[in-house]
Amino acid sequence: METLLLWLFYISSLYAFIPGLITRLFGFRVFRRGLSDSRFALTFDDGPDPVYTPQLLDLLKRYDAKATFFVVGSNAEKNVDLIKRMHEEGHLIGIHNYIHKTNWLMRPATVKRHIQKTSGIIQAVTGVKSIYYRPPWGIVNLFDFAKRGDTQIVLWSAMFSDWRVRIGADKLTQRMMKKLRGGEVFLLHDCGSTLGANRGAPGEMLIALERVLTEADRKGLKSVRIDDLIHITETAKLEKKGGPAPVDGDKAARSGAKPASRSKKIVVSLWLLWEKVFHQLFHLQSTNEENPLLHFRIRPYHGEPVEMNGGVKLKSGDRIMELHFDNKRLYEFGSRSKSPVQLAIKMVRGMEKELPKLADHIANHPDLHDVKALYGVSMINKGPEQFGFTVTDLPKGWFASSSRLYLKFLMRVVHPEGGARLKQSAEHLVPKLIVMPIDHLVSHYMQDDSKRKMNGNPEVVPEEEPVLNASVSCP
């Protein structure tokens, strides 16, 4: 039961909850707000609808406003003429899956088929391949980030519950007026037949939208397509970078490390809160409660046999000590490092201190004498062998693929310069299984004043210290 709960926790957190939290709160790897004083974006989901979409197109034409339509593929198939009209009148057409179903409830391959099928429908009508994608309800999963090279995920900065007819045109107008300013991305709906929506709700939206467009004209604001707002935003960012660098007397700035932004600090706080919950649920321990680098738990190994150092073989059912890095220490190491080499050196020094503590802990707890191996998943391939670990490929499958995406995702979010680090070390970020026989740990890393025999094996004292590589793993 504990193993089942662990996997459910992993899957729900890594596949859905964490990616959704980061994108919705902080806009990680998605576009949801622009930088402009006079341009904003109107976006419409769930259509096209044969009743309301033509009225919407008429309204936009009267005000010379451009918009982005995230269409449901099955609706687009039924209303090809409306797709053609959207394109001819200068609007951008994006993808909203083939049917309106959350990505959390579909396999990655199914989501991919939805996107490809809808894109194919749009391209067949317009001759243009759509790369702009909004997942239904704005809910992303871990694998949505893998499609970043093919698609641009677009969310929103303002939504108004316009799918509910009871909101009414007057209240909807008030809500939209409060958000009417440059850079905003409005989420609206031109179809009311989606599950949870009211059929007549788009009629109320159209009344409110006309009032908003009138006010926008008065204020000198213009609605533009999402691709145009993205271009305006990127240009504004480049102009800002061309200005003088801010003066920062912070210690991180003096040391050459880039200080974390406020949003990333919030992300890190949320991540560390999640880590505490994880530790409590699965009873993780540490040999250093005040400032731990490694946490561990004892559990049976489930997997293919792995041959370790000394010819020792790890088999399914053997007890293992599963290692987890402390994410707070990991973040501190990264945020205070000027380069990947400096980060690696700090990790090496940390491991040099932690492995003897693990050895002493096992030797001093008789109930752990039957633990056969240390076990972890490494995100960097060079270095663990120097400590005595055996490094081997993870079995191909969902866990290996999701681990790679998750580690890249985590590095980008948690590390102040995660994107740059990822580009510098992308070839190393292939998750590997790392294992070390407990006998090797005890004989090589136990403190000199407490070396002892364990499980009838004579102590082995290495002739010299292992040579350490400046690139270490993160189990």
Q: How many other CB atoms sit within 10 Å of the CB of residue 178?
A: 10
Please, what sign has the CA dihedral across residues 241, 244, 248, 251? positive
Instruction: Kindly give the pairing relationship between strand 390-393 and strand 432-437.
Output: antiparallel
Whole-Å CA distances, 310 to 154, 389, 436: 53, 11, 10
Contacts of residue 291, defined as CB under 8 A and 6 or more positions apart, other chains included, come to 329
Q: Which amino acid is residue 285, in one-letter code? A: Q
Which position among 91, 189, 324, 444 bears the catalytic label? 189
Active-site annotation holds for 189: yes
Cα–Cα distances in Å, from 181 out to 59, 233, 289? 20, 14, 50
- How many other CB atoms are there within 10 angstroms of residue 412's CB atom? 19
**C-beta atoms surrounding 391 within 10 Å:** 15
Torsion of CA 83, 84, 87, 91, to 10 degrees: -40
Cα pseudo-dihedral 377, 379, 384, 389, rounded to 10: 20
Q: Which of 45, 228, 326, 439 is catalytic?
A: 45
Contact 470, 387 (CB under 8 A): no
CA geometry: angle 196, 135, 151, nearest 5 deg:
160
* Residues with catalytic roles: 45, 189
